[in-house]
């Protein structure tokens, strides 16, 4: 099984200059640091319960803010990579890259499932993340198995048929005029 030929496998970007758009990942970080709220001083002694409650919720809110920041940075980074249009010369290498991405998503879903179960979130949420992790793991094994036996990749095969459709709606509600 000659999976990787020597010196012939490489990855390239069609628009490498658009990958510089990944620098825009810094925008949510800067906004996060600028928009931080100043802590409010509680001067009234009768509001001690509210102060204690705020301290208890502070850690949970910080975790949510960091997760939101990570999601924003990831979205901008994925957008920059998508605009750069990465391409892979080999079908086997593209299958391994696809399997790696699916495996990473499976690990992320499993971590979210464990975190939901540990925090006592509803069983529906934890079970949902666990089911997503299991489905992604099966997909990872399927794509990696196809790469091991040398079959053509599921995504990016140049010999795969392409289907396209153009739909033009000329109904009166679209206000089409000749």
Q: What is the pLDDT of residues 40-95, one digit of tens each?
A: 665 666 677 777 777 777 767 777 787 788 888 888 888 888 888 777 767 777 77
Neighbours of 91 (CB within 10 A): 20
**Does 122 fall in a domain?**
yes
Q: Based on the structure, what is the number of domains in the chain? A: 2
Claim: this prediction has a pTM higher than 0.75? no
> Is position 97 within any domain?
yes
Residues in the chain: 178
Q: Considering the domain boundaries, does residue 19 fall inside one?
A: yes
Same domain, 92 and 156: yes
pLDDT in tens, 42-54: 566 667 777 777 7
Residue 145 lies in a domain: yes
- 75 and 97 belong to one structural domain: no
168, part of any domain: no
Residue 114 and residue 135 in one domain: yes
**Could you give the C-alpha distances from 113 to 68, 98, 109, 126, 178, in angstroms and in order?**
17, 22, 6, 5, 56
Name the residue with tokens 């593209």. 94
**DSSP secondary structure letter of residue 153:** P
């Amino acid at each position: 099984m000659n999976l990787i030929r020597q010196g012939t496998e490489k990855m390239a970007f069609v628009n490498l200059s658009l990958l510089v758009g990944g620098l825009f990942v810094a925008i949510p970080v800067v906004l996060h640091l600028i928009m931080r709220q100043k802590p409010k001083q509680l001067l009234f002694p009768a509001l001690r319960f509210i102060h204690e409650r705020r301290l208890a919720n502070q850690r949970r809110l910080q975790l949510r803010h960091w997760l939101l920041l990570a999601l924003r940075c990831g979205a901008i980074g994925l957008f920059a990579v998508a605009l750069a249009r990465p391409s892979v010369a080999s079908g086997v290498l593209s299958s391994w890259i696809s399997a790696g991405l699916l495996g990473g998503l499976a690990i992320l879903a499993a971590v979210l499932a464990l975190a939901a179960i540990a925090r006592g979130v509803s069983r529906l949420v934890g079970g949902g993340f666990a089911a997503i992790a299991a489905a992604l793991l099966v997909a990872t094994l399927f794509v990696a198995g196809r790469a091991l036996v040398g079959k053509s990749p599921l995504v990016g095969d140049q010999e795969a048929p392409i289907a396209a459709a153009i739909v033009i709606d000329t109904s009166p509600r679209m206000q089409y005029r000749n």
